[in-house]
Structure 1
Amino acid sequence: MAGSGRPIDARGWLFEVEDADAGTETWLTIGGTTSFTHNPGENEETADTTAFDSDGQYEQDVMQRGATLEIQAQYRVDKATGVQDPGQAYVDHAWAQRLGVDSRNRVRWRHKSQTAWVVWDATVTPGEQGGGTNDKTSWSCTVTRCGPASAMAVAG
């Protein structure tokens, strides 16, 4: 039946960062997410291959693929302890402080209706935080994929 598919809710997307310092595979949910933008064409580079025999039509080859994931959230803390959300805190205080070969970390993301995670080896750029008189404090980061994406089955 044509057109029988249904759109999925944006609030069903899950984002996690791997705690590379944990000793065992540990994934931390990035809490408070309010929106995200996946840009599968970011950092793409092309080479112009147009020549006289292209008969006036543009031609190119893709030389590099890339992608980014921007996550927007509300800055979250535990009400009782005041401790920042574990996923946000890991991004802010562990991952975003690393340089050189240490600057890479794994992230994974999926919609709750999917049976596999998209997994990236990536770098992170912390985003702005702020808010006005009647706002909640914002939090954000941009994750840039390094190398190809992989997949991981959802456990349990």
Structure 2
Amino acid sequence: MSSTRPIDARGWLFEVQDTDADPNTWLPIAGINTFTHSPGENEETADTTAFESDGYYEQDVMQRGASLGIEGQYRIDKVSKAQDPGQAYVDTVWANLLGIDSRGMVRWRHNTQTSWVVWEATVTPGEQSGGNNDKTGWSATFTRCGAPTTAVVTP
């Protein structure tokens, strides 16, 4: 029997950096119940097929890209009625920035991992929706700008 096992999707953690606070202030995003990491998003290639390719396609990757989509439920504090700080930062601060100010930092990891994946990214807020017997939905898509980095998890 193999000693490797699949990990639970509910163990993923997502955070955004609050640039208005101390540079090391990361805000967890609550209420997430699904995510999609697309490591090939915005990839661009150049066709390098030539006669000597003997009829087989060839290419070089000229640009790498990636995106991270997170979805869940719009969350508020029961007492103060304030939106979850991570969601609120995305909705009310980051999503309103333009030009060179539109880039921010997002990081994520599984709770079994000892390093964060860290991106400089732009964010596109998603739709908030719901029906009669639903909870209100919340989502955002982060598009990586530049190369990814990592950071060690600190207590």
- Structure-1-length-normalised TM-score: 0.97
1:40 paired to 2:39: yes
Aligned ranges for residues 76-87 of structure 1 at < 5 Å?
Answer: 76-87=75-86
After TM superposition, give the deviation of residue 24 of structure 1 in Å: 3.4
Contact 2:91 2:125 in 1 (8 A): yes
Which aligned runs of 4 or more in structure 1 are off by greater than 4 angstroms? none
Any idea what SS the aligned residue of 1:119 has?
Answer: strand
Shift of 1:151: 0.5
Deviations 1:24-73 (A, max 9, x none): 31000000001000000000000000011110000000000000000001
How many residues end up aligned between the 2 structures? Answer: 155
Secondary structure of 2:120's aligned partner: strand
What whole-Å deviation, never above 9, does each CA across 1:71-99 have from its counterpart, x for those lacking one? 00100000111100000000000000000
The whole-number CA distance in structure 1 between the counterparts of 2:4 and 2:134 is: 36
2:12 equivalent in structure 1 = 13
For 1:137, the aligned partner's letter is: T
**Which residue of structure 2 aligns with residue 113 of structure 1?**
112
Aligned residue in 2 for 1:58: 57
Who is 1:137 aligned against? 136
Q: Please report the TM-score for the alignment, with normalisation by the length of structure 2.
A: 0.98
2:112 aligned counterpart, secondary structure = coil
Q: Which residue of 1 aligns with 2:30?
A: 31
SS in 1 for 2:68: strand
Task: Please report how far the alpha carbon of residue 4 of structure 1 lies from its aligned counterpart in structure 2 after TM superposition.
Answer: 2.6
Deviates further, 7-16 or 19-28: 19-28
Superposed CA RMSD in Å reads 0.8
* 1:153 is aligned to 2:143: no
**What's the counterpart of residue 67 of structure 2?**
68
Q: Find the aligned partners of 1:26 and 1:131 in 2 and give their Cα distance.
A: 31
CA distance in structure 1 between the partners assigned to 2:59 and 2:114 by the alignment: 36
